[in-house]
Amino acid sequence: MTYDAFSNLPLAAPRPRNVWLERLLLAAFILCLLIGLSAFGIWWTLRDTHQPSLGGDPLLAVRTALVLPQLALRQLAGDAPDGLAVQAMKAGQRETARAILTYDTELSATARVARLAQLGRLYQEVGDAQAAAETYRLVLPPAVLNASLPPLERAQLLVQSASGLLAAGQAEAALTAAVQAKRLAAQTPNLLPAQRKQVFDDLRSLAVPLKNPAFKQQVDDLARNPFISPNGVLIPQRPATFTQPLPYDEATQSVIAVRQQAARLLADRIALTGGVDIDPERQSLAQALLAEDQARTQFYQAARGGQVSLAQQTWLLQDQIAWLSAKLRIARQGYGIAVLPEWELRAGALLEELGQAYNDYAAALDGYAAAQLTPLDQALQRAENQHWLAEEVERGLYTVIALNDLSERVRIVQDDVARQGSPLALPVAYEPEAMPPGFHVQGP
More confident residue, 205 or 2: 205
pLDDT of 20 over the 80 cut = no
pLDDT of 49 over the 90 cut = no
pLDDT at residue 4 in the model:
47
Convert the pLDDT of each residue in 219-275 to its tens digit: 999 999 999 999 999 998 776 668 899 999 999 999 999 999 999 999 999 999 999
Residues near 64 by beta carbon (within 8 Å), at least 6 away in sequence: 95, 99, 332, 333, 334, 336
pLDDT of 279 over the 50 cut = yes
pLDDT of 392 over the 50 cut = yes
pLDDT at residue 131 in the model:
98
What is the chain's mean pLDDT, rounded?
91
pLDDT at residue 217 in the model:
97
pLDDT at residue 53 in the model:
67
pLDDT of 46 over the 80 cut = no
User: Average pLDDT in the 371-376 region?
Assistant: 94
pLDDT of 314 over the 80 cut = yes
pLDDT at residue 433 in the model:
95
pLDDT of 17 over the 60 cut = no
Distance between CA atoms of residues 201 and 203, nearest Å: 5
Convert the pLDDT of each residue in 155-206 to its tens digit: 999 999 999 999 999 999 999 999 999 999 999 998 999 999 999 999 999 9
Convert the pLDDT of each residue in 412-441 to its tens digit: 999 999 999 889 999 999 999 999 999 999
pLDDT of 42 over the 50 cut = no
User: Average pLDDT in the 112-130 region?
Assistant: 97
pLDDT at residue 305 in the model:
87
User: Average pLDDT in the 340-364 region?
Assistant: 97
Radius of gyration of the chain, Cα coordinates, nearest whole angstrom:
31
Distance between CA atoms of residues 38 and 32, nearest Å: 10
- % of the chain at pLDDT higher than 90: 84
pTM score, two decimals? Answer: 0.87
Q: What is the dihedral of CA 430, 238, 103, 281, to 10 degrees?
A: -160
pLDDT at residue 436 in the model:
96
